[in-house]
Amino acid sequence: MKKLISCSVREQMRYTKDELKSRLSCEGPEAERLIRNLKAYGVLKTVKISREQRDLSDLAGEEDLTRAAGEDSFYLFAWVGVIVAAGRVIRVCPKYLRSAAEPLQQMRLVMKVLERYQRSEEQVAELCHGDGEARSFNILAVILFLLRDYYEYGLYTSHGEVVERNGEGEILWERTIDQCLPLVRGGRPYYTELYARRTKEDDADYFRRLHASVLTECSRQLRECRLEELFDLVLVDFPEEATQDFGEREYVLERLRAELGSQFFTRNQILLKTLYAYLAQDEKLGSPGEEGLSLYGTNAFHMVWEKACAAVFRNKLRVPLRELGLSVPLAEGYDGAGTLAELIGRPVWKTQGAVKTAADTLTPDIIAVGQSGGADYFIILDAKYYNLQLEPDRELRGIPGVADVTKQYLYELAFRPFLKAHRISMVRNCFLLPVESVQTKKRGVVCMEMLRGLGLADIGVYLLPVEEVFRHYLADTQMEAAVFLREETC
> Domain limits of the chain?
5-155+205-298, 158-202, 302-485
Specify burial of residue 65 (Cβ count, 10 A radius: 0-12, 13-18, 19+): middle
Decide if 84 contacts 288 (C-beta within 8 A): yes
CA–CA separation, 318 and 244 (whole Å): 53
Residue 190's pLDDT is 78
User: For residue 488, how many other CB atoms are within 10 A of its CB?
Assistant: 12
Contacts of 85 (CB under 8 A, 6+ apart): 34, 37, 38, 288, 292, 293, 294
Judge whether 111 and 120 are in contact, CB under 8 Å. Answer: no
Q: Which residue has the higher pLDDT, 289 or 16?
A: 16
DSSP code for 132: T
Check residue 418 and give its pLDDT: 95
Q: Is the pLDDT of residue 281 over 70?
A: yes
Query: Mapping DSSP to helix (H, G, I), strand (E, B) and coil, where does residue 287 land?
Result: coil
d(CA 89, CA 228): 12
Question: Quick check: 202 and 157 in contact, CB under 8 A?
Answer: yes
Q: How many residues in the chain?
A: 490
* Banded pLDDT at 88 (limits 50, 70, 90): confident
Q: Burial of 99 by CB count in 10 Å (0-12 exposed, 13-18 middle, 19+ buried)?
A: exposed
Q: Name the pTM for this structure.
A: 0.81
pLDDT over 80 at 256, yes or no: yes
Whole-angstrom distance, CA of residue 226 vs CA of residue 273: 27
Report pLDDT for 213.
94
Query: Given a cut of 50, is residue 267 above it in pLDDT?
Result: yes
Question: Using 50, 70 and 90 to split pLDDT, how confident is the model at 134?
Answer: very low
Residues 35, 44: Cα–Cα separation, whole Å: 8
Q: What is the pLDDT at residue 274?
A: 92
Is pLDDT of 45 > 80? yes
What mean pLDDT comes out for the span 283-309? 81
Report the 10 Å Cβ neighbour count for 43. 24
The pLDDT assigned to 65 comes to 45
- What pLDDT does residue 193 have? 85
The residue-averaged pLDDT of 32-51 equals 86
CA pair distance 418, 428, nearest whole angstrom: 15
pLDDT band for position 60 (cuts 50, 70, 90): very low
- Rg of the chain on CA atoms, in Å: 29
Phi, psi dihedrals of residue 406, rounded to the nearest 5°: -65, -35
Mean residue pLDDT of the chain comes to: 84
Residues 6+ apart with CB under 8 A from 470: 109, 110, 112, 113, 308
Residue 445 C-alpha from the chain's centroid: 30
Residue 79 and residue 413: Cα distance in Å, rounded? 36
If you average pLDDT over residues 16-35, what whole number do you get? Answer: 91
Reading across the β-sheet that carries 80-85, which strands appear in turn? 5-10, 88-93, 80-85, 293-298
- Confidence band of 83 (pLDDT split at 50, 70, 90): very high
Sign of CA dihedral 138, 68, 91, 17: positive
Quick one: pLDDT at residue 379? Answer: 96
Share of residues in the chain with pLDDT > 70 (%): 86
CB 171 within 8 A of CB 198: no
Given a cut of 70, whether residue 412 has pLDDT beyond it is yes
CA gap 51, 436 in Å, rounded: 26
Give all strands (DSSP E) within 235-394, no chain letters.
293-298, 348-351, 354-357, 366-372, 375-383
154 has a pLDDT exceeding 80: yes
Specify whether the CB–CB gap between 96 and 435 falls below 8 A: yes
Query: pLDDT tens across 440-462, in order?
Result: 889 889 988 888 878 888 999 99
pLDDT for residue 67: 40
